[in-house]
Amino acid sequence: MVKKNEIIEVNIDRVDFPNKGKAYYEGQEIRFKGGIAGQKARIRISRKKKEYLEAKLVDIVEKSSIEGESGCPHYGICGGCSYQTLTYEAELKYKEGQIIKLFEKAGLDINYLGIEGSPLVHGYRNKMEYTFGDEEKDGPLALGLHMKGRFYEVVNTDECNIVDEDFTSIRQHVLKYFQVRGTAFYNKRRTEGYLRHLVIRKALSTGEILVNLVTTSQDTLDKEEFVDMLVKLDLKGDIKGILHTTNDRLGDVVVAETLELLHGRDYIIEEILGLRFEISPFSFFQTNTFGAEKLYSIVRDFVGDKKSNLVYDLYSGTGTIAQILSPVAEKVVGIEIVEEAVEKARDNARLNNLDNVEFMAGDVLKVVDDLKEKPDLIVIDPPRDGIHPKAINKIIDFNPETYVYVSCNPVTLVRDLKVFAERGYRINKVKLMDMFPRTP
């Protein structure tokens, strides 16, 4: 009988979505986060439950047969990517198997159309949120991603391959700028220091770049000198805006208590499927631009060419899907709870000269009660929690001919689809789109 905190060696039997490893030891099931099926791993028992044990992954002793060598020198230290040792073909097959298993477990009969890979596997991200810190206690200033399984230590990601070279260049020069000046990072243990995060956004279609430095108010920034350093960089893209965010909150989350524009404008413009979208520092936008183009092309293909009188786009965010569907509808109504996102959606609709798209600010759960017109089509793109349990039957009560459900969480997707099936709807087709290569 294993004991709490005991470290044991196991063969990882399988990894279920989302990244839930399972193994067996002396007949007992053990669950833990991470790993790849087929790996031999050391795990530390953390909790005993009635039907299984919980554990934490300590390290990998032996690779899985589906693994090769990592193409990233930070792999194993950085907490950013888990699938760097898989070929992309193997990664897609691995992810596909996890999702199909969810549908099978839920007893849902589907017409499965396969998985689409990301157009870019390397350099695909259009946003990175770097953290200031140190790689070891009291070591030199670092700027990058958190170490694997660590909350305080940071890895300098000089050769990160999921971003293009402009991200790396900006990150390196900002780090050097503050190293030379001896500026202190914000220490979360002591709640003191200045530098917190560096957020970089780059529109991959247009090359426009937005840089946002996040600090506390415990020091001052030489704004003119900082801007001058950045605008002189030799980049492939073009820095359109530099911002300074002040955040004195205790949580390790990028929020703006104050936001100051230091240079240029406070947004960049990205292009997707012939439409232009303004992206501000805190706007939600798919982090894989070219993957998003494929995703929205799938949505448009599922909708078809038949023109609808009225389309509802629920959980519409900044209105990307609503605007992409505007050519096949007399009217599209988007509903989104975040007011800033609604304002940005309206701005983008004006930018694209679309007069048949409108957006409403409010909680889908409440707003659907006020919608009186019956739509021909409803597109649903909810957050990771899926459709609110109290809202789903209200949405089904509209009884349109077709729903298109876009999901970022297959677990809540199959949960919600079971309700649709119970109400008489048939799942016509399912297609997967990998938006995050190298990650679960």
Q: CB–CB of 333/312 below 8 Å?
A: yes
Query: Has 408 been annotated as catalytic?
Result: yes
**CB within 8 A of 330, min separation 6: which ones?**
307, 308, 309, 310, 356
List the beta strands (DSSP E) in 108-237: 112-116, 127-134, 141-146, 154-156, 195-202, 208-215
Distance CA 65, CA 22 (A): 17
Cis preceding linkage at 440, omega within 30:
no
Q: CB–CB of 339/363 below 8 Å?
A: no
Distance CA 336, CA 344 (A): 11
Distance CA 160, CA 177 (A): 20
Burial zone of 144 (CB within 10 Å; 0-12 exposed, 13-18 middle, 19+ buried):
buried
What three-state secondary structure class fits 118? coil
Interaxial angle between packed helices 88-106 and 410-422, expressed in degrees from 0 to 180 and rounded to the nearest 10: 30
What three-state secondary structure class fits 36? coil
Distance CA 142, CA 157 (A): 9
- Short-list 77, 73, 171, CA closest to 131: 171
What three-state secondary structure class fits 11? strand
How many Cα neighbours within 13 Å face the side chain of 294? Answer: 15
Distance CA 288, CA 117 (A): 12
CA 416 to chain CA centroid, nearest Å: 21
Q: Which of 72, 81, 160, 408 is catalytic?
A: 408
Distance CA 160, CA 439 (A): 13
- Short-list 314, 126, 287, 112, CA closest to 202: 126
Q: Which residues are annotated as catalytic?
A: 408
